[in-house]
């Protein structure tokens, strides 16, 4: 059976609250699995069963070993000790035939950017595609699967991957992983970090359909509420081991965080003085900015102020950041120097061939130099401070590609704040970062603002905007609301984002 004929159930499974724990046999089993990279013990003896027809949520801090375990379960890496059983085949080696029924969608995507969408499908699914007329078969298969998973996706099989948006690349990555003639286990690693709410809902509707047919889904996410809404069971990893397994029914977010050794920290209100934006010198401003997805957008940023950009994804927030990063138009004014944390860390953030220390210090070199000469002692001290401050797993000497996605993001954020920039621009900076690290970074932003540094921050998680002094809500390239103080809430932002407005100006 070819991949384009892979059947899909026509009915969604019952809501999570009505689902019962799976009693089906495991499709993949791990016993006492260990994995070491140099001095880092990524897995320290993992025991885990993934059962047919269930959604197993896997949660844990960055560096807990989740991504490493997934690579072992998918047959991409061998474990140092222990056994992995796949579809009844015990102790199979990486790449063996039983692993063909285990597919993984990566958080950072595994797509070849220079190839088209259809060509990427051929690369990963050629064993179940015809050799003759393979391009048409791949195009038909991926178009059909994208339509099933993400209606209105806007992706054509002939599109080059590098020309797609971050969300579209993630959609293709997930569709690619599901395209196989037999699918026993689908592993989703932070699948919704780049997706909007509608796409996320569509994905989980598809997940319920395939699990109703007997496929197992292993879901990794830092969005605990999301995991609890779709999972049958939840497994918690800490320090390279699975430390707890619980049925999802009746489990709350705080219960999961307690098992992780974390807690929910409510946003800390900014000092009263920080709310008085009108009394601050203006360091950045957009005045009726139009063009490149913006329509008469006016935004001001005061010294020492944290300004949020909120609203549904793709409504002009990135264009505002781009204007502030490259203020070449007359409608944009920026005083002082700038640092930028990009949303797509793999394309424009990480320097993959460099170490953590080299990635972290590159923007701070000029500020630490004396008379134009680099000071290695000052650079080493700065690196140590930020590695310790953000608890970057692997340390300063680790290669960037050795880190988990969340730890890579810590390095990129640290790089911006280690610089002497007067204005820091953040494009969804905490995507894929665990709740404990987020809390540390929220505190960092407030500390930097208290010291006089200005921050403009876009987040796809509206709840994060409560850490800002002011928030501009954008819709269709326009500012539809400016919120301050107690007005800044997730409910208010959502209401404004979806409200029909007769006026194109800001609501006050």
Segment 84-95, tens digit of pLDDT: 998 888 867 777
Element (H, E) at 307: strand 306-310
Which pLDDT does position 203 carry in this prediction? 95
Q: Which fold has domain 3-7+26-260?
A: Rossmann fold (3.40.50)
Looking at every residue in the chain, the average pLDDT score rounds to: 82
Q: In this predicted model, which residue has the larger pLDDT, 324 or 21? A: 324
Tokens representing 503 are: 């006026």
Q: How far is CA 473 from CA 291, 297, 442, 481, in A?
A: 18, 11, 20, 5
Which pLDDT does position 7 carry in this prediction? 38
Band (pLDDT 50/70/90 cuts) for residue 345 is low
Pairing of strands 282-291, 332-334: antiparallel
Q: How far is CA 109 from CA 112, 167, 494, in A?
A: 9, 11, 29
Spell 236-257 as b/e; 16+ CB within 10 A means b: bbbebbbeeebebeebeeebbb
Q: Is 364 left (phi over 0), alpha (psi -120 to 50) or beta?
A: alpha
Q: How far is CA 499 from CA 197, 234, 480, 502, in A?
A: 16, 36, 9, 10
Q: Is residue 176 predicted with pLDDT exceeding 50?
A: yes
Tokens representing 172 are: 């293709």
Dist. CA 161–CA 151, nearest whole Å: 19
Domains 3-7+26-260 and 268-336+422-508 share a fold: yes
Q: How many residues does the chain have?
A: 508
Which among 28, 54, 104, 15 is positioned nearest to 215, based on CA atoms? 54
Which pLDDT does position 359 carry in this prediction? 81
Which pLDDT does position 308 carry in this prediction? 94
Element (H, E) at 122: helix 117-125
Handedness of CA 444, 449, 453, 458 (dihedral sign): positive
Q: Is residue 505 predicted with pLDDT exceeding 50?
A: no
Dist. CA 407–CA 397, nearest whole Å: 14
Place of tokens 């139009």: 290
Dist. CA 137–CA 142, nearest whole Å: 9
Dist. CA 142–CA 271, nearest whole Å: 51
Q: What is the DSSP string of 313-334?
A: TTSSHHHHHHHHHS--STTEEE
Distant-in-sequence, close-in-space partners of 266: CB < 8 Å, separation ≥ 6: none
Q: Is residue 10 predicted with pLDDT exceeding 80?
A: no
N-term to C-term CA, the chain: 59
Delimit the domains of the chain by residue range: 3-7+26-260, 268-336+422-508, 350-420
Tokens representing 123 are: 């690369």
**How much is the average pLDDT of 124-153?**
89
CB-based contact 203:192 (threshold 8 Å): yes
The superfamily (CATH) of domain 268-336+422-508 is P-loop containing nucleotide triphosphate hydrolases (3.40.50.300)
Segment 211-266, tens digit of pLDDT: 999 999 999 988 888 899 999 999 999 888 999 999 999 888 888 888 887 655 55
User: Residue 432's CB: how many other CB atoms inside 10 A?
Assistant: 23
Dist. CA 403–CA 409, nearest whole Å: 10
Dist. CA 496–CA 423, nearest whole Å: 27
User: Residue 466's CB: how many other CB atoms inside 10 A?
Assistant: 19
**How much is the average pLDDT of 132-153?**
91
Segment 371-399, tens digit of pLDDT: 777 778 888 888 888 888 777 777 787 88
Band (pLDDT 50/70/90 cuts) for residue 188 is very high
Q: In what order do the strands lie in the sheet with 89-90?
A: 40-51, 26-37, 81-86, 89-90
Place of tokens 């953030």: 349
């Amino acid at each position: 059976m070819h991949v384009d004929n892979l059947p899909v159930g026509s009915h969604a499974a019952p809501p999570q609250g009505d689902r019962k724990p799976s009693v089906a046999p495991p499709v993949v089993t791990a016993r006492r699995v260990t994995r070491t990279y140099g001095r880092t013990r990524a897995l320290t003896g993992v025991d885990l069963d993934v059962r047919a027809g269930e959604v197993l949520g896997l949660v844990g801090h960055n560096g807990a070993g989740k991504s490493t375990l997934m690579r072992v379960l998918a047959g991409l890496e061998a474990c140092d000790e222990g056994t992995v059983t796949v579809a009844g085949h015990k102790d199979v080696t990486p790449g063996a035939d039983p692993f063909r029924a285990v597919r993984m969608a990566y958080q950072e995507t595994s797509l070849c950017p220079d190839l088209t969408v259809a060509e990427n499908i051929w690369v990963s699914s050629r064993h179940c595609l015809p050799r003759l007329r393979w391009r048409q078969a791949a195009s038909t298969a991926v178009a059909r699967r994208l339509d099933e998973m993400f209606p209105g996706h806007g992706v054509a099989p002939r599109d080059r991957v590098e020309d797609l948006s971050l969300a579209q690349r993630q959609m293709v990555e997930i569709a690619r992983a599901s395209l196989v003639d037999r699918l026993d286990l689908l592993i989703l690693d932070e699948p919704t970090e780049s997706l909007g709410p509608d796409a996320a809902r569509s994905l989980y509707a598809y997940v319920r359909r395939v699990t109703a047919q007997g496929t197992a889904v292993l879901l990794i996410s830092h969005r605990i509420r999301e995991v609890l809404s779709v999972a049958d069971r939840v497994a918690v990893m800490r320090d390279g081991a699975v430390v707890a397994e619980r049925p999802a029914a009746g489990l709350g977010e705080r219960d999961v965080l307690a098992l992780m050794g974390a807690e929910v920290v409510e946003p800390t209100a900014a000092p009263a003085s920080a709310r008085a934006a009108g009394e601050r010198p203006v360091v950045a401003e957009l005045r009726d900015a139009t063009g490149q997805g913006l329509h008469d957008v006016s935004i001001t940023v005061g010294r020492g102020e944290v300004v949020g950009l909120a609203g549904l994804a793709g409504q002009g927030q990135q264009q505002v950041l781009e204007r502030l990063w490259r203020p070449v138009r007359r409608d944009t004014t920026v005083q002082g120097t700038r640092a930028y944390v990009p949303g797509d860390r793999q394309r424009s953030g990480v320097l993959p061939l460099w170490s953590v220390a080299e990635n972290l210090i590159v923007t701070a070199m000029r500020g630490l130099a004396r008379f134009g000469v680099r000071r290695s002692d000052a650079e080493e001290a700065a690196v140590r401070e930020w590695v310790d401050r953000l608890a970057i797993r692997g340390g300063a000497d680790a290669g960037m590609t050795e880190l988990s996605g969340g730890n890579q993001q810590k390095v990129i954020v640290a790089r911006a704040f280690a610089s002497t920039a007067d204005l820091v621009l953040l494009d969804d900076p905490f995507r894929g970062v665990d709740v404990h690290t987020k809390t540390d970074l929220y505190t960092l932003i407030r500390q930097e603002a208290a010291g006089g540094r200005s921050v403009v921050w876009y987040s796809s998680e509206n709840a994060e905007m409560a850490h800002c002094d002011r928030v501009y809500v954008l819709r269709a390239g326009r500012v539809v609301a400016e919120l301050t103080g107690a007005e800044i809430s997730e409910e208010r932002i959502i209401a404004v984002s979806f409200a029909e407005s007769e006026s194109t100006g800001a609501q006050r």
